[in-house]
Amino acid sequence: MRKIIILCLALLVALPTVSNAVPQVVGGSKEENQKLEEYFKNPGSSSVKDVDDSAALEKAWYKGAKAEVKKARAAALAAYKKNMAEADKELQKIIKKSYQIQVKAYDATDYALDKVHNDILKKRYKYDVQIISKKILQYTKEYMKKK
């Protein structure tokens, strides 16, 4: 119950502040903001001058809003380009690392095949296929541990 009463009191205090709020021209001069303030203080007047001023004020407001939209788009585009550049750098790192692993695998295979070939030549007898494949795997792992 206390919360409701406090909330109602806070609303009563804040309501006049909100109702007296006057829109401002985004990026506008003090003069434009002052005209806009006067216009909203006397909305009941319907002279031609007020209508002309309101059109000018509306135009100024749209102009300011357009400028803000352009700034926001430029900021978003810059952020997009920055993120794309960072993503491209990360992709290049991954490609480079992948290439290094691939080269290392080729080197390991060459090393293993050379070792098996030398083993066959030194012992002067033929291994069967299972022994050769096990030896290739063994020498490949050995090479990968070295480097």
**pLDDT for position 124:** 58
What radius of gyration do the chain's Cα atoms show? Answer: 39
**pLDDT digits 0-9 by tens, 114-140:** 888 888 877 756 667 778 888 888 888
Give the model confidence (pLDDT) of 82-118 as tens digits: 888 898 889 899 999 998 888 888 888 888 888 888 8
Q: Where are the alpha helices (DSSP H) in the chain?
A: 2-19, 30-41, 48-123, 129-146
Lookup: tokens for 84: 């794309």
- Decide which of 44 and 59 is more confident: 59
Say what percent of the chain tops pLDDT 90.
2
C-alpha span between 64 and 28 (Å, rounded): 6
- Lowest model confidence (mean pLDDT) among 22-26, 77-81, 82-86, 94-98: 22-26
pLDDT at 18: 45
pLDDT at 61 over 70: yes
